[in-house]
Each structure stands twice: as C-alpha cells, then as structure tokens.
Amino acid sequence: MPGDILDNRGRGSAGWSWPSIHPEGRKFALVSAALSLGSAVMAWETLAWPLAFLTVGILAFFRDPQRVTPRDDRFVVSPADGLITLIQKVPPPRELTADDGSGAKGMAETPVTRVSIFMSVFDVHINRSPIGGTIRRVVYIPGKFLNADLDKASEENERQHFLVERSDGVQIGFTQIAGLIARRIVPFVKGGDIVAAGQRVGLIRFGSRVDVYLPEGTEPKVLMGQRVIAGETVLAEIGQAPMIEGVSQ
C-alpha cells in the first residue's frame, strides 16, 4: 500500500497483511534460524526449540508494518509506537539549541513541552518523522543504558537527536533513547535530507524511548498512559494548546 491515498470518506482500499521485516533484523533471524535448524539436525531438541522461538521473536521485533499518515500541515504525528509515560515542560536538549557550526539555527532555549513515548520489546521499533521538512541535525550521543522509563534517561542514556524544520521555519526536535536492553540506535537519514511526515527515520534495537519536543505554544492532544502508533496518532496540532482530560478504564 505504499503511496496509496486514503481518506475519511471511504476512498482507497485497505486490508490486513503480514508486515514486512526490516533488513536490520533479517540477518539476526537468519543466524538464529540456522542455529535452530542445525540443532534439530543434531537432535539437540532442548536447544532447537528455544532457538526457533527466538527466531520468531526477532522477526516480530523487527516487523515494519505500513502506516496511514494523516496529511495536514498542522499535525504532529507520533514518531514511535508505545505508551505515553511523561509529559513535561523542559528546555530542549543542548544538542538541539546550541550553534553547531552549520549555519542552520537550532531550537530556542525556552522550555517547551516534551512528550515521552516508551517502547517495550513488543512494540514496533521503527521510528518516523513527526512532521514533513528538512532534517537540520542528526546528533548521536554515547551514554549509559538506564531504564528508559526514568526521566534522567533523556540526559544520561545513549541517544540520538533529530531536528526537523518545515518550510515555514517551524521546528520539531525528537530524540531516540536507548534503554536497558537496547544497544544500538540506527539512523536512516542524515542532515540535509527532506522527509515527509510519517517517513521512517531510524530504529532502536530491543526496547527504548522516544522524546518529542513540541514548538512553543503547542500542547499535546494525547494523555498520560495513552498508547500511540508511529506515523498515525496525532500527538498535537501546531499552535493549539487544548486542556484534555481522560479516564482510565
């Protein structure tokens, strides 16, 4: 379905299909499957079955389903699948505000709303751009591997910052943060690339978190504890700051 146009009036066709497996995961699955098959041939069933289940788990982790992204310049879509675990007013990371020598301006240092999305090992780990525009920065920072649910993970863990700028100058920063199990952040884009809203920009292996820094004057339309879908869930509308309450049920 890549590139298909669908709408809320019934245009387009939709149906369930098996998600593809991202190339980053195929090599791991191939090794695990080969070891499982070899163990089965050697009649080592106590090893063959766990390796077979591991292969299925790897394929599930690296699944890369198609997503339908709402097309509206006002929308900020979720860059990750997962659970909204933090919504806070904080200054953007220094890597997104400081002069990096490229001539492109960074975000202002004034506090903005940060929305944190926690991805468990059961979530899709392909991350997507929250808006369409030009990638102004991709900054990788080595660090620790603390629990990604912790607030301090945004400052101490291995992470990768992105800054996307629309043609009208509106900027969105977002950060991939490694967690307890994650050991590699893989970017698909580089500075200067032009991306569409919902386009794949990277992945984090095996459990992690993504922080989104909304523009000043913009508040989220999602709630604490809500689950979101990368490339589909609308996190916010640019320039809108609604107060929304929800009920856990």
Residue 95: pLDDT above 60? Answer: yes
Candidate list 32, 36, 78, 208, residue with the active-site label? 208
User: If you write DSSP's letter for every residue of 115-152 in order, what string do you get?
Assistant: EEEEE-TTS--EEE-SS-EEEEEEEEE--B---TTSTT
Same domain, 37 and 88: no
Sign of CA dihedral 150, 185, 195, 70: negative
Averaged pLDDT of the chain: 88
What pLDDT, on the 0 to 100 scale, is given for residue 236?
97
Cα(55)–Cα(215) distance, rounded to whole angstroms?
41
Measured in degrees and rounded to the nearest 5, phi and psi for residue 45 equal -65, -30
Residue 179 CB-density burial (10 A; 0-12 exposed, 13-18 middle, 19+ buried):
buried
Clarify whether residues 133 and 228 are in a common domain.
yes
Same domain, 102 and 183: yes
Please state the φ and ψ torsions of residue 76, each to the nearest 5 degrees.
-110, 115
Q: Percent of the chain scored above 90 by pLDDT?
A: 59
Domain count, the chain: 2
* pLDDT for res 93: 93
39 is catalytic: no
75 and 220 in contact (C-beta within 8 Å)?
A: no
Residues 155 and 133 in one domain: yes
- pLDDT per position as a tens digit, 198-247: 999 998 876 689 999 999 999 999 999 999 999 999 999 999 999 999 99
Q: Looking at the structure, do residues 54 and 81 belong to the same domain, yes or no? A: no
Cα–Cα distance between 94 and 108 in angstroms, integer?
Answer: 10
**What pLDDT is recorded for position 18?**
85
The verdict on residue 112 lying in a domain is yes
Kindly report, residue by residue over 140-154, the tens digit of the pLDDT: 988 665 555 555 556
56 and 86 fall within a common domain? no
Containing structural domain, residue 206: 75-237
Domain annotation covers residue 2: no
